[in-house]
Structure 1
Amino acid sequence: MNPTATRLIDACEQLLCKIGSIEELTARRVAMVAGTTPSSVSYHFGSQEQLVIAAAERVYKRLNAERLSLLNSAAQRASPNPPALEDIIAALIGPSVRWSLEPGSKYPVLSHFTSMAQRSRDPELYRSIIEGIEHHRVFIPYFRLLAPWLNEAEIGWRISCALGIRSQVTRSRLRNEVLANHAIDFSDAEEVIAHIVDVVAPMFRKAS
């Protein structure tokens, strides 16, 4: 990638982690941090919106790399047996939970990206990221080893449900605290992950 384009993505990512609202982001601010001119945003990316998408795509790749690293580590620990069901689920949902609670993480980039996608007049720009599933499909063979009575579609649906639970937990902390009667410490990532795993795991177990 062109060095100026890389600096623009770096600057955009940095600002998205600092601002409270996506409206605070401007091409001028991004260009100032990147040490270039505002016109370079449209020159290299076509628009500020597409620059944000490029920044979010890079952050998503890091998140998914962490997810796959956890999955591979779980598989290596258990080899030659399949990894534990709980470890597979934790690898799937854990990074998002940790990032959402970790000060200094890049999670705000993804939050602003989601906000932009919901309001965009051109949803096609976001489709490849929002609807991308290949990094989730990697988990299917592992779940099938532990739940061979489930077909691929049934496992895919359960993965979708698990991700939905994760999204509700990471986006609605105050509501979750009230619904859980403050019995769960939603500021403790490992406790939150453990509770999500407890809820999701039975989806992949055979009913007795």
Structure 2
Amino acid sequence: MSREMETASTADRLRSACEHLLRAAAHPEEVTVRSVAQRAGASLGAVNYHFGSMEQLIFSAGERVYLRLNAERLALLHTAIERAHPAPARVEDLILALVGPSIRWSLDPQSSYGVLRHMTTIAQSSDHPEIFRPMIEDVEHHLQFIPHFRKVAPWLSEVEIGFRISCLLGVRTQMTRNRRRTDELTGHKLDLADANVVLAEVVSATAPMFKLPPAPDSYSVPNSSRH
């Protein structure tokens, strides 16, 4: 094996070990240089040698998970577009493509969504939050949805579409991080551990944001003017 291949192999093992340990950890502080090095079969100095710091390794591991999640999101977007072609994609399919992967991953104990949760926690307490900012503040893949939502709702401007996408992302975060609150608010009547149930409710609640409101009844008389 060449030195370059060996270096890449060690770095990949460290990334994979870090991802595995973060996925299983209740708190990110449980994941240490020693535990990562032991799982990867590498020396204690390998983390600094390949990544510069433990935070840089965590970012690299989290970024790889994030790219997989975004790849799934964009694959669903393209499927929705192709399925409806030449008509615009269904708004329900666009919503499912945008928020579905995050919600499904968050409910799947075998997924690596916990890595992304820990990333946010680490970034908030880090002395170097700029390490994590490129991923946490990334909107490039969200921007790809704007023209397709505009085809569905051409009466909305890009600004209005962007605001609605931001609202959708807020709903996603509520579903992935605050399910206890939602459970209380819904009187424990929904199975919030079932991704299909959650997504059906999300689509039902948010699709009207992209649908043309009914024309006002020009013949109705406001209550305040009735005698």
Q: Does 1:114 align with 2:120?
A: yes
Give the distance between the partners of 1:134 and 1:188, measured in 2 at CA.
29
Which of 114, 123, 130 is the equivalent residue of 2:129?
A: 123
3-state SS of the aligned residue for 1:17?
Answer: helix
Give the distance between the partners of 2:192 and 2:95, measured in 1 at CA.
18
Q: Does 1:73 align with 2:79?
A: yes
What's the counterpart of residue 203 of structure 2? 197
Q: Quote how far apart the aligned CAs of 1:68 are.
A: 0.7
- CA distances 1:72-99 after superposition (whole Å, capped 9, x unpaired): 1111111111111000001100000100
What's the counterpart of residue 88 of structure 2? 82
Aligned-CA RMSD value: 1.0
Give the distance between the partners of 1:180 and 1:99, measured in 2 at CA.
22
Structure 2: tracts of 5 or more residues without a match: 1-6, 215-227
Q: Quote how far apart the aligned CAs of 1:120 are.
A: 1.2
Q: How many residues align?
A: 208
Taking structure 1 as the reference length, what is the TM-score of the superposition?
Answer: 0.97
Q: Does 1:42 align with 2:48?
A: yes
Between structure 1 and structure 2, the one with the greater Rg is 2
What's the counterpart of residue 29 of structure 2? 23
- CA distances 1:1-52 after superposition (whole Å, capped 9, x unpaired): 7211111001000111111111111101101111101111011111101111
- CA distances 1:138-190 after superposition (whole Å, capped 9, x unpaired): 10110000111111121111101100111011101111101111121101001
Taking structure 2 as the reference length, what is the TM-score of the superposition?
Answer: 0.89
Give the distance between the partners of 2:158 and 2:45, measured in 1 at CA.
48
Q: Quote how far apart the aligned CAs of 1:124 are.
A: 1.1
Which of 110, 113, 119 is the equivalent residue of 1:104?
A: 110
Structure 1: tracts of 5 or more residues without a match: none
3-state SS of the aligned residue for 1:103?
Answer: coil
Question: Mapping of 1:157-172 within 5 angstroms?
Answer: 157-172=163-178
